[in-house]
Structure 1
Amino acid sequence: MPEALSLTPRSGHLREAWLPPERCRGGKLWQDLIARHPYLAESPGLPQTWDAPVDHFDPNNTGTFKQRYFLDAQFFKAPENNGTGLVFFMIGGEGTLTGPPSGFVKELGKQYAALLVSLEHRFYGASLPNEDMSTSSYARLLTIDQALADLAAFSDFLQAEHFPETPLRFFTIGGSYPGALAAFYRIAYPGKTVGSLSSSGVVNAILNFPDFDRVVAQAIGGHCADRLRNVTRAFEDALLVPAAACAAKGLFGCDCEMWDADFFYMLADAAAMVDQYGRKAELCSFLLEGLGPAPTALEMLRGFADFTRSYYGPQFGSSCFYDSRCAADLKKATLNERSWRWQKCSELAYFQVAPTERDAEGGSVALRSGQVSLEYHIEQCQRIFGDSVGMPAVKSVNDRFGGAQPTATRVFYSDFSDDPWRAASVQSEEGGPEAEQPFELAVYDGAGHCSDLHEPTAGDHPNLVKLRGRFEAYMTQWLIEETEEVI
């Protein structure tokens, strides 16, 4: 085994899709996750880097950049009799990579004696081509095609540099946006991987996405949804009065000049992400019990702000992610927040907007403010990146990869009933879009985003256990089929 693989990193964690983004890791949510999964607090060891091509599609550009990756070889067994070694290849996404695959994927590595590998996505963490996060750099180099080409080129590097005598076969795994990449990779580079797990994979690029709001409302239920609507209206009323608007924004650490629509986007995210990560009971307990039976507008303002700051940390509302002015300023913007905004503005969209329908009494059914509209998202992109950004190329993405009915083979799609992102995932009846693309929707209270990727526990819901078992059955079948094809 190469010297670089002789050290076994501790569990660590990458920016896995079942974990909240960095801006949400300063409060109760993160503390609770560490208590349930202590390995999240461990140091994962040092990353390695490889010289990734800056531009895979320009033959005149021979530049490279240092792209980070992690390897965990503690379970890997070199095959005998000219066999092949199995690699579980975890795709990094819209955040900093901080360790090799953990949770469910680590358990798979142990069970199948596999090498565990994770690759940081370009323009996230410390993997920045040309040290340039300008709009012109993004336009050329931060695309789905460049990211997929990174995966293919890196697998060749790993084979040649670390295992020149041992043929490797890769099984790719990703959640959320990396879940979409896991499916897209099977379409763009089918010969590079045996199969993929697309956990909560947002394969359908959607420009106008009111279903996100609708799924949250359905998941949390009528009374809880009504109270959340009342909270939103209380903030809408407050922002109509300049002095009150400044005070209301200040409750979240936001300054008075923050664009009102940005503020309402942050407010919507603060509630939606509690449900997204499988914790709707905590949100509804606060809204229905914590606020009391008949809260005043002021009590709702202060109460929801206190809940948000306590739950995510005081930095949540004032982070650059929600402030268009900050995201546009290269001296203030963080790489991760600006890069993900670019990917949404240029290709993927997923613009979460307020539904426009009304109830029987003429009131809005939306949980979020009507200011969070398609027009808002488009203007936000222009404020951050300039008029040259154009409209997101959602049609091009969906035409190529299939949208809600992907055109891949040997991909298992897992989705979860309470996750609002499932509306951008595979839309299928029983059996998946076709036999080569099985699909499973796990239905239970608290079935949140990428729930199958977290560390398996004795308390996991039976439907989650069933989903994992079904995935493993397909994965084993595909590994056998691939071996037979080689023979």
Structure 2
Amino acid sequence: MMRVVGPPVPKSHTNTLPDNWFDQRVDHFNNSDTRTFKQRYFLNDKYYKTGGPVFLLVDGENEGQDYFITKGAVSEYAKQFNALLVDLEHRYYGHSVPTPDLSVDNLRYLTVGQALKDTEQFIGYLNKKLALNTNNTKWIAFGGSYAGNLVAFLREKYPHAVAGSVASSAPVQMTYDFNQYFTGAGKSMGTECSNQIREAVRLVEDQLKTPEGWLAIEKELKLCKPLNGTDISSVNTMMISAAIPFVMAAQYVGQSGIDMVCAVMTNTKDGSTPIQRFTKVLTQFSKAKCLDNDYNQFIDDIRQTSKTAPMNQIGYRQWLWQTCTEFGYFQTTDHTDSPFGNQVSIDFYVKRCADMYGKQFTGQFIRKGIDKFNQYYGGAKPNVTNVVFPNGSTDPWRVLSVLKDLNTSSRALMIQGCGHGSDMQETLSTDPRQLTDARLAIAKQIQLFLK
């Protein structure tokens, strides 16, 4: 089951900058706890000139990579403003895990509050280490997706640390039942395409009613495991796995991705069935050899607490912990406007949290954490100045971001036809005009933040 947040880093990218390490506190909010851990960061001074600002790329729910400060748009802004580039790896991800394992007891230090304090403390450390504070050096923070939330909240809770932030595709409004994810993707795909998807899913749901139908689905969708249509959790796992490649096209590729998906789904001239066209999209847009439908195996994998467990090395146990404790973001399909059927309800996600982390994760418990988070950080209207919020118009996550200017210095920027974190990617000659214009607008905001 895919984790569907975070700006994409090209799979071909290999880090070229050396690792640096900072002694970070495990628990910032308990004075009697003196434990520390090694937090990784990267430095790139290629464009830096004395007196220039620092551009800090805050990582999110992935291993830290130097892509965004060597090839991404942030490095291009650095060239323009003579900035020092820094990338800080998020606690519990990559090589910056502060505890011996990822038990529930140890995961309690994985919160946004701890991560923000990490960043504030790191900025103070580097200012002192590099004598930047003697020049009153200004910092600008950059982040995409969840990390976009972090840099927005950094300006809210620690405005002294950074002069401004670029919060790209930042879903700052936490939500329990995120049904807009799939309904929004369906709307982006248009009526004809969505109706074809809806019909394919309806046919699959009809087949779920009989054992003969289960066998047909196994063959048609190329499932990883034999299907038991009475196992609701495994059926839900299959339905989410089948829907994700469609949404990925809208989320990451943008309008051209939607066009590719819909060209397949609406091509009825070859006599193919809706399910055959649906499967063709799965084959083209998913690199997996088979479609995941094994809920129990997924839960077993996530329950592993070793830092070296495969799912933990890529951050799944950590990220799902954050969704179950603070974020929600539960992508349900049981909504009348969803083209992806009505199988996946909020109950599936509540059960999943409980199965992964303990029976205390009831719907009421999860809701309470989300409500508390939104109350503290402001939800869709964080109390911030000097933040720009770029979003792509085809990105389903955009509905949870800031879509209207909050004030004269915190602006919303919609990039038509583009997807999640598109403004953070390396500039290409093939970029559409609206993306180029957006980056120019972001650079203008950065210039204002630095005055």
The normalised TM-score by structure 2 is: 0.87
In the alignment, the residues of structure 2 paired with residue 146 and residue 43 of structure 1 have an alpha-carbon distance, to the nearest angstrom, of 26
5+ residue gaps, structure 1, are 1-14, 21-32, 35-39, 80-84, 358-364, 481-487
Structure 1 pair 412–400 and aligned structure 2 pair: CA distance change class (3 A) = same
The worse-fitting range, judged by mean Cα deviation, of 244-253 and 60-69 is: 244-253
Matched-pair contact (CA < 8 Å) for 1:416–1:448: yes
Find out whether 1:49 has 2:21 as its counterpart: yes
Q: CA RMSD in A?
A: 2.7
The worse-fitting range, judged by mean Cα deviation, of 108-117 and 253-262 is: 253-262
Q: 1:273 aligns with which of 228, 238, 248?
A: 248
Q: What is the DSSP-based 3-state SS (H/G/I as helix, E as strand, rest coil) of the residue aligned with 2:437?
A: helix
Pairs within 5 Å for 1:208-357? 208-242=177-211, 244-245=213-214, 248=217, 251-252=221-222, 254-256=224-226, 259-277=234-252, 278=254, 279-289=257-267, 294-296=271-273, 299-300=276-277, 302-309=279-286, 312-314=287-289, 317=292, 323-330=298-305, 334-335=311-312, 336-357=315-336
In the alignment, the residues of structure 1 paired with residue 359 and residue 196 of structure 2 have an alpha-carbon distance, to the nearest angstrom, of 38
Q: 2:423 aligns with which of 438, 441, 452?
A: 452
Please name the residue that 1:485 is paired with.
none
5+ residue gaps, structure 2, are 228-232
Structure 1 pair 456–321 and aligned structure 2 pair: CA distance change class (3 A) = farther
Shift of 1:213: 1.6
In the alignment, the residues of structure 2 paired with residue 210 and residue 413 of structure 1 have an alpha-carbon distance, to the nearest angstrom, of 22
Q: 2:152 aligns with which of 183, 199, 210?
A: 183
What do residues 334-362 of structure 1 show as CA deviations (whole Å, max 9, x unaligned)? Answer: 120111111111101111112523xxxxx
Shift of 1:120: 1.0
Q: 1:163 aligns with which of 131, 144, 148?
A: 131
Runs of 4+ deviating beyond 4 Å: 164-167, 249-253, 291-294, 318-322
Structure 1 pair 207–232 and aligned structure 2 pair: CA distance change class (3 A) = same
Please name the residue that 1:372 is paired with.
344
Aligned AA (2:251): Q
Structure 1 pair 242–226 and aligned structure 2 pair: CA distance change class (3 A) = same
In the alignment, the residues of structure 1 paired with residue 189 and residue 348 of structure 2 have an alpha-carbon distance, to the nearest angstrom, of 26
In the alignment, the residues of structure 2 paired with residue 316 and residue 66 of structure 1 have an alpha-carbon distance, to the nearest angstrom, of 38
Q: What is the DSSP-based 3-state SS (H/G/I as helix, E as strand, rest coil) of the residue aligned with 1:367?
A: coil
Shift of 1:169: 2.0
What do residues 259-291 of structure 1 show as CA deviations (whole Å, max 9, x unaligned)? Answer: 2112212222121111101221222123223x7
In the alignment, the residues of structure 1 paired with residue 136 and residue 294 of structure 2 have an alpha-carbon distance, to the nearest angstrom, of 45
In the alignment, the residues of structure 1 paired with residue 104 and residue 212 of structure 2 have an alpha-carbon distance, to the nearest angstrom, of 36
Q: What is the DSSP-based 3-state SS (H/G/I as helix, E as strand, rest coil) of the residue aligned with 1:229?
A: helix
Aligned AA (1:411): V
Structure 1 pair 264–463 and aligned structure 2 pair: CA distance change class (3 A) = same
Q: 1:384 aligns with which of 356, 364, 375?
A: 356
Shift of 1:143: 0.6
Shift of 1:315: 7.3
Please name the residue that 1:200 is paired with.
169
In the alignment, the residues of structure 2 paired with residue 458 and residue 305 of structure 1 have an alpha-carbon distance, to the nearest angstrom, of 29
Matched-pair contact (CA < 8 Å) for 2:239–2:344: yes
Shift of 1:253: 5.4
Structure 1 pair 175–388 and aligned structure 2 pair: CA distance change class (3 A) = same
Q: 2:60 aligns with which of 76, 89, 93?
A: 93
In the alignment, the residues of structure 2 paired with residue 418 and residue 322 of structure 1 have an alpha-carbon distance, to the nearest angstrom, of 33
Matched-pair contact (CA < 8 Å) for 1:184–1:401: yes
Aligned residue pair count: 428
Structure 1 pair 44–399 and aligned structure 2 pair: CA distance change class (3 A) = same
Q: What is the DSSP-based 3-state SS (H/G/I as helix, E as strand, rest coil) of the residue aligned with 1:265?
A: helix
Please name the residue that 1:5 is paired with.
none
Matched-pair contact (CA < 8 Å) for 1:213–1:355: no
In the alignment, the residues of structure 1 paired with residue 206 and residue 36 of structure 2 have an alpha-carbon distance, to the nearest angstrom, of 52
Aligned AA (1:183): A
What do residues 64-112 of structure 1 show as CA deviations (whole Å, max 9, x unaligned)? Answer: 1121111111111123xxxxx4111011011111225231101011111
Please name the residue that 2:386 is paired with.
410
Give aligned-pair identity as a percent. Answer: 28
In the alignment, the residues of structure 2 paired with residue 298 and residue 95 of structure 1 have an alpha-carbon distance, to the nearest angstrom, of 34
Please name the residue that 2:230 is paired with.
none
In the alignment, the residues of structure 2 paired with residue 232 and residue 47 of structure 1 have an alpha-carbon distance, to the nearest angstrom, of 47
